[in-house]
Chains A and B, each alone.
Chain A
């Protein structure tokens, strides 16, 4: 049983970009893909706990700002050294221009 939390307005994030969202002592990263879909993952890199929202989004990849580790933000899959542990992902929906994420 988990709640949908409002993270931001859809217009707050550019296409092919990412934003940090903090809630309840946790930190998340919200993505807008080049084809205008929204996704959410844990906010910290699994290599050294760096905020991924400072990183670069390219297609369906988020690249960590610290050492360029890569994840597919749609699935959370680790995609390149030095990261080897996957990111947790969260369901996202857009409702009346608001981006909501379901945090478990």
Chain B
């Protein structure tokens, strides 16, 4: 009997996978289960434009009408609580049981919790639209916002809060912001932009204690400095949501471990997006877990193809972007693969850092500039990375040499 395809997690990845199954012509049952009350939606706006607008709106990946038209059954506000692998069925929190032919786990990631006592209602995390709405209510002129963690989400939120006139302090225990994955030269540009906009950034001092009396948060740093705020937003990274998979006995390794085809240790269960770790072919199969929007999208589509038997290996190059004030940052590849850097200056103060491996292979490119100044060259760099190209450093460094010409070579 045909049971159909079941997808757990109605986020970016799960939503895209459901749509992709239909685009591929699959005509069996497609069921998308999510524990949030919303349609599948895009998270990136939650720390960007949606935060600044008067009444934030959800940016849905598919409307109810589209889901209905494509016969995708979306079960919302319900959690998947157990997988019976032998019976090929998932049990939901409302007591119902969904049989599957193939199962996709797209459970995403969740904010890493600050491991200390003292956090209360004025200490919050940002992951969902509901979180974003609650935070938005505090982003008013003069309100004091402490951002704990100088990563992307915290910094984007800091920029949004400044736009709304809040007084913002960013607290980062590391010696600089964006330590993970962003070259110092680019982090510095972002740091300066925040300072110019009036954000106070405190780096290199860990948090000793937090006191939250429900009206105010007091953060005390190891060096003794005290920061008082009306709201503290904690953004210290994310952890993969793997409980369901682990309890079902699937292999976990910094996320649900999947092979190049996104198949878990059970051949009928796939995992994709923020929740999985997978072998990254462009770096010879190095196992990674990405927390990136385009990856969630691409892996959702790839999982759909492979659930239908395509047997296609993941081949994409990681890609990420962030917007803060008028600046846009884009990164293709993983810069920690590089050993040396070549800089290419573009117009309007924009620039790109090309990261080269020891043998001269281009392994990553990080760019920053106003608007979309770096977009085209980062995209071309991404293609060069995918081709394992070894472009001449002089060519990469010279704005006069078009990257497109290197691609043809």
Restricting to B359-392, which residues have a CB under 8 Å from any CB of A?
371-373, 375-376, 379-380
Q: Does A27 contact B (CB under 8 A)?
A: no
Residue pair B297, A56 in contact (C-beta under 8 Å): no
Q: Which of A2-10, A35-43, A60-68 has 4 or more CB atoms under 8 Å from chain B?
A: A60-68
CB closest chain-A residue, reference B407 = A58
Which of A51, A54, A63, A82 counts the most chain B CB atoms within 10 A? A82
Q: Sample 7 A-B pairs with CB under 8 A, ordered by A number.
A: A54-B375, A63-B379, A65-B372, A67-B293, A68-B379, A81-B19, A82-B297
Given contacts A68-B294, A81-B16, A82-B42, contact A56 B319 (CB under 8 A): no
The CA of A67 and the CA of B301, in the complex, are separated in Å by 16
Given contacts A63-B379, A68-B319, A68-B379, contact A54 B372 (CB under 8 A): yes
The CA of A66 and the CA of B374, in the complex, are separated in Å by 10
Contacts A81-B16, A81-B301 aside, 4 further interface pairs with beta carbons under 8 A come to A54-B372, A55-B379, A66-B372, A66-B375
Given contacts A56-B380, A81-B16, contact A67 B372 (CB under 8 A): no
The CA of A81 and the CA of B16, in the complex, are separated in Å by 8
Is chain A's binding surface mostly helix, strand, loop or mixed? loop
Question: CB within 8 A of A65: which of B19, B293, B301, B375?
Answer: B375
Q: Does B325 contact A (CB under 8 A)?
A: no
Given contacts A81-B16, A82-B297, contact A56 B379 (CB under 8 A): yes
Q: Does B321 contact A (CB under 8 A)?
A: yes
User: Which residues on the A side are within 8 Å of B297 (C-beta)?
Assistant: 81-82
The CA of A16 and the CA of B408, in the complex, are separated in Å by 13
The CA of A63 and the CA of B377, in the complex, are separated in Å by 12
Given contacts A81-B16, A81-B301, contact A65 B294 (CB under 8 A): no
6 cross-chain pairs, A with B, having the tightest CB-CB distances, nearest first: A65-B375, A65-B372, A54-B372, A56-B379, A56-B376, A81-B297
The CA of A68 and the CA of B378, in the complex, are separated in Å by 11
Restricting to B18-65, which residues have a CB under 8 Å from any CB of A?
19, 42, 61
Contact with B along A1-44 (1 / 0, CB 8 A): 00000000000000010000000000000000000000000000
**A85 CB, nearest partner CB in chain B, Å:** 12
The CA of A82 and the CA of B61, in the complex, are separated in Å by 8
User: Which residues on the A side are within 8 Å of B319 (C-beta)?
Assistant: 68
User: Which residues on the A side are within 8 Å of B16 (C-beta)?
Assistant: 81
User: Which residues on the A side are within 8 Å of B372 (C-beta)?
Assistant: 50-51, 54-55, 65-66
User: Which residues on the A side are within 8 Å of B42 (C-beta)?
Assistant: 82
Residue pair A67, B294 in contact (C-beta under 8 Å): yes
**A37 CB, nearest partner CB in chain B, Å:** 19
CB closest chain-B residue, reference A65 = B375
User: Which residues on the A side are within 8 Å of B293 (C-beta)?
Assistant: 67
The CA of A67 and the CA of B330, in the complex, are separated in Å by 10
The CA of A76 and the CA of B260, in the complex, are separated in Å by 34
CB closest chain-A residue, reference B298 = A81
User: Which residues on the B side are within 8 Å of A63 (C-beta)?
Assistant: 379
The CA of A50 and the CA of B61, in the complex, are separated in Å by 18
Restricting to B327-377, which residues have a CB under 8 Å from any CB of A?
371-373, 375-376
Restricting to B263-277, which residues have a CB under 8 Å from any CB of A?
none
Residue pair B301, A55 in contact (C-beta under 8 Å): no
**B242 CB, nearest partner CB in chain A, Å:** 25
**A79 CB, nearest partner CB in chain B, Å:** 12
The CA of A16 and the CA of B373, in the complex, are separated in Å by 19
**A17 CB, nearest partner CB in chain B, Å:** 9
User: Which residues on the B side are within 8 Å of A68 (C-beta)?
Assistant: 294, 319, 379
User: Which residues on the A side are within 8 Å of B301 (C-beta)?
Assistant: 81
Which of B297, B371, B372 counts the most chain A CB atoms within 10 A? B372
Residue pair A67, B321 in contact (C-beta under 8 Å): yes
User: Which residues on the A side are within 8 Å of B321 (C-beta)?
Assistant: 66-67
User: Which residues on the B side are within 8 Å of A51 (C-beta)?
Assistant: 372
**A53 CB, nearest partner CB in chain B, Å:** 9
The CA of A54 and the CA of B378, in the complex, are separated in Å by 12
**A69 CB, nearest partner CB in chain B, Å:** 10
CB closest chain-A residue, reference B382 = A68
**A31 CB, nearest partner CB in chain B, Å:** 14
User: Which residues on the B side are within 8 Å of A50 (C-beta)?
Assistant: 372
**B65 CB, nearest partner CB in chain A, Å:** 12
**B322 CB, nearest partner CB in chain A, Å:** 12
**B42 CB, nearest partner CB in chain A, Å:** 7
The CA of A94 and the CA of B12, in the complex, are separated in Å by 43
